[in-house]
Amino acid sequence: MTTINKSAWILFCLLIMFTAVTEAQEYRGTGRVNVAIVRNPFMASESILAEGLVDSLTALNATIGLNQAFELTENESAYSGWAREALVSRHLADLISANGKNEYFTVALLGSCSDLPGVLSGMQNMGPGEEEQVYHLAANIPHRVGLIYFDAHADVNTPETTLSGMYGGMDVALATGLYNDNNRLITGLDPPLPPSYVLLADVRDTDPREQELIDRLHFEALSTDDIRTLSENVRKQMDRLSSLTDVIYVHIDMDVLAPEEVRGHGLTAPDGPTSRELADCLELIFTYPKAAAIGIASTPYGPRDPDHLSRQAAVRLIQGAIRGVNKRE
């Protein structure tokens, strides 16, 4: 290849890279935030919609382009336990991947934190990552996905470290490749996230051996005070993740909040932020262009939320994210 041809090829690759990365993060081509709502078809997601989510986002200059759910096939429905969770995640991944390619900002209304690998898989595969555009190392190098995990629990347990045995307490471990590669691969999440791509936010309750694992793998963290005060550490961590990854997913288990707002959640922990405090933090986080999706999991509803405080809190958190996107230059 001649020097001229090499230069032209490099310029062409860089142009594609710039276009792909820019489009992957562009939600405001019409001056409005283009939102796709993706739902795990449990009653919790329907109850958040019924709380006026669509109208509240429209009032914030958002266009709801898609409002999607999925159903397991008859054969898939025959499975239970971990296999069923992986199949649910795969359906979520397919929806989120398509939405990203079509330049939507994703709002994921999830059943539990077991849905996490599916969201990450969808974001990982919603378009070519930067490395592919520059080096063409393979036909499909996925996005490098950063994860901000708001949860009173770290969910870095494995079957060897867990006290409770809960599958929902192992999803970050699964997503980072610490166990159960088979389920992770069913969801389409490949490769697993390096621990450096993960930020544990407001974790207040861990199992002893789980904490040893967190310390050994050097997971980064935000504290309750960081969230309440919008400390410099929030910006520092966003700068760090933005430099390491192509896109960032913000996951929220509602038990991260002050117990008074999620009384129907069975796993609350004391001293969490209020939904207004967390919404302000999310507003800051989503001013960063690589913050591409928000997911809400484990929202109390029905008899477990008789005064609607939890569902209203969930809507408030999503509003905070959209306000942040609106502030992008």
Query: Which residue spans within 44-168 are E strands per DSSP?
Result: 62-69, 105-109, 145-150
Burial of 2 (0-12, 13-18, 19+ CB in 10 A): exposed
Under a CB-based contact definition with an 8 Å cutoff, are residues 186 and 87 in contact?
A: yes
Q: What is the pTM of this model?
A: 0.88
Give yes or no for residue 289 having a pLDDT over 50.
yes
Residue 270 burial (CB count, 10 A): 9
Q: How far, in Å, CA of 185 to CA of 266, rounded?
A: 30
- Residues 6 or more apart whose Cβ sits within 8 Å of residue 121: 89, 90, 92, 93, 96, 97, 187, 188, 189, 190
- Can you count the helices (H) and strands (E) in the chain? 14, 8
Q: Which pLDDT band, with edges at 50, 70 and 90, does 17 fall under?
A: very low
Q: Measure Cα distances from 177 to 56, 157, 191, 213, 269 in Å.
A: 38, 12, 8, 13, 27
pLDDT at 287: 98
Joined together, the tokens standing for residue 192 give 């697993």
Q: Mind listing the pLDDT tens digit for each residue in 38-85?
A: 999 877 888 999 999 999 999 999 999 888 898 898 999 999 988 899
Give yes or no for residue 27 having a pLDDT over 90.
no
- Find the length of the chain: 329
Q: How far, in Å, CA of 304 to CA of 254, rounded?
A: 13
pLDDT at 29: 52
Q: What is the mean pLDDT of residues 125-147?
A: 66
Under a CB-based contact definition with an 8 Å cutoff, are residues 117 and 174 in contact?
A: yes
Q: Which pLDDT band, with edges at 50, 70 and 90, does 4 fall under?
A: very low
Strands 198-201 and 105-109, by their bridges, are unpaired
Q: What is the mean pLDDT of residues 198-226?
A: 98
Under a CB-based contact definition with an 8 Å cutoff, are residues 276 and 316 in contact?
A: yes
Q: Domains (ranges, CATH) in the chain?
A: 3-326 (3.40.800.10)
Answer with the residue of higher pLDDT: 134 or 205: 205
Q: What is the mean pLDDT of residues 239-245?
A: 98
Q: Measured over all CA atoms, what is the biggest interatomic distance in the chain, rounded to whole angstroms?
A: 72
pLDDT at 136: 45
Question: Which range has the top average pLDDT, 16-25, 241-250, 264-273?
Answer: 241-250
Q: Which pLDDT band, with edges at 50, 70 and 90, does 237 fall under?
A: very high
pLDDT at 119: 97
